[in-house]
Structure 1
Amino acid sequence: MTLRCSILFLSFELALIATCMTIKRETSTIVARSSWNSLGCYTDNVSGRALPNSEAVPGGSAAMTNEACQSTCLAAGFSIAGTEYGRECWCGNALVNGGAPVSDGCNMACNGNSAETCGGSNRLNVYQDTSPSTPTSTGKRGLVYNNNNPAANAEYADLFKGYSKISWGYDWGFPSFGLDASFEFVPMLWGLPSGSDPAWTAAVQTPGTKSILGYNEPDLTYSGSSNILPAAAAAGYETYMEPFSSSVKISTPNVLWNNVGSSSGGAYDSKTWMQYFMGNCTCHFDFAAIHYYQDCFPADGQSGAAWFQGNVTDAYQRLGLPVWITEFQCYGTDAQQVAFLQSVLPWLDAQSYVARYAYFGVFPDYLVNTAGTGLSDIGIAFATT
């Protein structure tokens, strides 16, 4: 519906003041693209696993469906998923027992949906993701960098070359500035273009591009944000992002998930901004992109790590998509940041729904030392913990 200026209304448990904007109050269904093909039913047992990695789906074994297992495996970085005994989810990037599908098939109903078959006794119901951009099985960690260095290239990011837990990077734009080929570069459409942008199209179509990021903090109004009203942001996504939905994985806008104040739309927070955006966007999303900034050790004695984990979990529960934390940082001394990372990084790696994350940022006195010649203590913690 169309709202006139200065109309006060209640929505999402808040009093919202709309300021000359058009929005739809209904929330659309968020649909992750389905691209899984059945490979059949395979023999599976403890001594000869067809898939090597057991993963727990959200909601536990009682919620098991083939789709839940597929989403869990994809978020954990695997391209093949299989269900067994109606309640188990197994993942991998290849079938490792070398066998062919069994002739008698799978016959056990899924615990979470009795109309589906989730394997059986020593029977694995196997599916493979056919999209072009399945993440690798290791290395959730990424680099957020730019070319603000004497050589105007990606040399600071390249200092992380050889660290196996670092696999990707982005720079708030779509030239990679020569990022080393050992890292996957992820282009970002930082803000709303004023018209057709052939350079953006060329970047998305560059061989090796698997995922794209959209809009940097459109929910905020400060100078470093893209500051876009939800309805305009949705229209831009339909024009500049959705046309690539068949070839790459697409993020939601990168929003500050722990923002509890006003947003670019007015007197409501970033979570409500996202609900308005989703309500206006006829789009497919493959993952949710969020930011987080807060004290490492809040003055009131609460745990900064617990606050962070709660925000990430909340984003997954609200949006129902694998989560990329494309920027996060805790405010504190170097030692406090190292302690924070040592606490949260194992947790992030253990969460099947956390697909990727990047700590802020690849700059001197942050993840890089003051001289720009090597990793700082924070950088070493991020790369090795």
Structure 2
Amino acid sequence: MLFFQAIFVVTSALTATCMTIKSQDAQTNIEKRQSWTSIGCYTDNVSGRGLTTPVSVSGAMTNEGCQASCSAAGFSYAGTEYGGECWCGNSIINGNGPAADGCNMACKGNNAEMCGGPNRLTAFQSGGGSSTTPPNTSNPSKSGKRGITYDSNNVHGDSTYGNMLKGYSKITWGYDWGFKSNGLDSSIEFVPMLWGLPKIMDQNWVSAVQTAKSILGFNEPDLTYEQSSNMLPEAAAAGYKSYIEQFKGQVRIGGPGVLWNNWNSWSSGGSYNSRTWTQYFLGNCTSCHIDFAAIHYYQDCEPSSGQSGSDWFISNVTNAHETLKLPIWITEFQCYGSDAQQAAFLRKVLPWLDAQDFVERYSYFGVFPGFLLDAAGTALSLAGQAYVS
């Protein structure tokens, strides 16, 4: 989310009323992702099936339901076909092999997933898919968590604002929603982002990854406003496989940056929220290598309900970790209020963030005039002073 959109867009997308978090049933896709690996689209011939044992699935067909049924029946391969069939086996046989296309039928139980097609299997193999940290990268939580969001929207067209926070020992990393640092000081680790879905592989993106330790994926693909990347979970998963997955083992890979506290509203996928969007993304990306989850948070500093804004933030971050079972980066967060209210909020939540092992990194929104900088953009605001302290 860019700074000139933050106030107007998020407040219109969310209700101002804070409520106790209702845990969503996202565990099926999370747990299945740890034990099943997508092997792609495969041919299937009725006269010589690739997987020979049909099984029933509880409820309407999903890839996760088929995997569970095949696992319960003792098979190590699962495949969905025609949107509503589930087939199992211990290998793909009878000359069937990878298909370039044809797995284009939505699952009857989840239209955000593809369940094969005519004579095509969306195929999975058990025993893979979980992600581990590459051995050549370090855990950021051990080397500094606090970061900056900045952009080049200034008279110089560079990282002038971001560089105003260099020299503060707690500021260790930063990003600008792109894969060019635009002159960020070398004392601050730059983390490139692939903001949205490209039409072809951008070699500038490839080059940026070569010097990075970590990379960020799509920016708010779960939302539909102009400054979000706005895509269906299936499209986001395909994009990860095409443009991000190839860098596993080379850098640490973050999941899509989703607005985690958008739990009672719509998403880019339709009438389900951002947490469900994330569940569908993972269901379509079971083999994707993801080292950490990236979440966003926007809400009032002092909610009208009387609930503590800092408590509400903490409960959302905790819920993301408990749900996704991954280390957490809060790549955007802000409370809506006066400069003094934001400073008070930060003084409450920063010690908690620094104390949580599962929180690897975080970045308050953002290094711009009227936010962490004063209105003139020449000095730190009260919130900025609290953030660097």
By the TM > 0.5 criterion, same fold? yes
**Partner of residue 285, structure 1:** 290
> In 2 relative to 1, CA 380–30 (structure 1 residues): closer, same or farther, beyond 3 Å?
farther
Amino acid at match of 1:298: P
Tell me the alpha carbon deviations over residues 116-168 of structure 1, each in whole angstroms, 9 at most, x when there is no partner.
Answer: xxxxxxxxxxxxxx323442634211000000111111111111111111100
**Aligned 8 A contact 2:83 2:107 in 1:** no
Match of 2:276 among 255, 272, 278: 272
> In 2 relative to 1, CA 254–34 (structure 1 residues): closer, same or farther, beyond 3 Å?
closer
Does residue 368 of structure 2 align to residue 372 of structure 1? no
> In 2 relative to 1, CA 265–23 (structure 1 residues): closer, same or farther, beyond 3 Å?
farther
**Partner of residue 262, structure 1:** 266
**Partner of residue 160, structure 2:** 155
Tell me the alpha carbon deviations over residues 158-185 of structure 1, each in whole angstroms, 9 at most, x when there is no partner.
Answer: 1111111110000000110000000000
Match of 2:222 among 210, 219, 223: 219
Greater helix content: 2
Tell me the alpha carbon deviations over residues 187-240 of structure 1, each in whole angstroms, 9 at most, x when there is no partner.
Answer: 00000011121111111113xx10000000000101110001001100110010
**Secondary structure at the counterpart of residue 217 of structure 2:** strand
**Partner of residue 6, structure 2:** none
> In 2 relative to 1, CA 136–257 (structure 1 residues): closer, same or farther, beyond 3 Å?
closer
Amino acid at match of 2:380: L
Amino acid at match of 2:247: F
> In 2 relative to 1, CA 10–330 (structure 1 residues): closer, same or farther, beyond 3 Å?
farther
> CA separation in 1, counterparts of 2:296 and 2:141?
22
Please report how far the alpha carbon of residue 371 of structure 1 lies from its aligned counterpart in structure 2 after TM superposition: 1.8
> In 2 relative to 1, CA 336–197 (structure 1 residues): closer, same or farther, beyond 3 Å?
same
**Secondary structure at the counterpart of residue 289 of structure 1:** strand
**Secondary structure at the counterpart of residue 238 of structure 1:** helix
> CA separation in 2, counterparts of 1:211 and 1:295?
31
> CA separation in 2, counterparts of 1:345 and 1:224?
27
> CA separation in 2, counterparts of 1:214 and 1:34?
17
Query: How many residues are treated as equivalent by the alignment?
Result: 278
**Partner of residue 176, structure 1:** 181
Please report how far the alpha carbon of residue 33 of structure 1 lies from its aligned counterpart in structure 2 after TM superposition: 1.2
> In 2 relative to 1, CA 26–219 (structure 1 residues): closer, same or farther, beyond 3 Å?
farther
Does residue 368 of structure 2 align to residue 363 of structure 1? yes
- RMSD in angstroms over aligned alpha carbons? 2.4
**Aligned 8 A contact 1:327 1:357 in 2:** yes
Long gaps (5+) in structure 1: 12-17, 36-129
Equivalent residue runs for 1:223-372 within 5 Å = 223-260=226-263, 261-281=265-285, 282-372=287-377
**Aligned 8 A contact 2:133 2:252 in 1:** no
> In 2 relative to 1, CA 352–266 (structure 1 residues): closer, same or farther, beyond 3 Å?
same
**Partner of residue 75, structure 2:** none
Greater strand content: 1
With structure 2 as the length reference, what TM-score do the two structures score? 0.67
**Secondary structure at the counterpart of residue 357 of structure 1:** strand
**Secondary structure at the counterpart of residue 257 of structure 2:** strand
> CA separation in 1, counterparts of 2:226 and 2:289?
29
Please report how far the alpha carbon of residue 34 of structure 1 lies from its aligned counterpart in structure 2 after TM superposition: 4.9
> CA separation in 1, counterparts of 2:291 and 2:185?
26
Tell me the alpha carbon deviations over residues 275-324 of structure 1, each in whole angstroms, 9 at most, x when there is no partner.
Answer: 11001112111100000000111001001111100000000011111100
Match of 1:192 among 188, 193, 197: 197
Amino acid at match of 1:262: W
> CA separation in 2, counterparts of 1:271 and 1:293?
15
Please report how far the alpha carbon of residue 23 of structure 1 lies from its aligned counterpart in structure 2 after TM superposition: 4.5
Equivalent residue runs for 1:111-130 within 5 Å = 130=135
**Aligned 8 A contact 2:254 2:293 in 1:** yes
Please report how far the alpha carbon of residue 26 of structure 1 lies from its aligned counterpart in structure 2 after TM superposition: 12
Percent identity between the two aligned chains: 58
Equivalent residue runs for 1:192-211 within 5 Å = 192-206=197-211, 209-211=212-214
> CA separation in 1, counterparts of 2:168 and 2:350?
15
Amino acid at match of 1:280: N
Long gaps (5+) in structure 2: 1-61, 63-81, 85-105, 116-121
**Secondary structure at the counterpart of residue 214 of structure 1:** coil
Match of 2:130 among 8, 11, 31: 31
> In 2 relative to 1, CA 163–190 (structure 1 residues): closer, same or farther, beyond 3 Å?
same
**Aligned 8 A contact 2:113 2:283 in 1:** no
> CA separation in 2, counterparts of 1:297 and 1:8?
43
With structure 1 as the length reference, what TM-score do the two structures score? 0.68
Equivalent residue runs for 1:83-94 within 5 Å = none
**Partner of residue 100, structure 1:** none
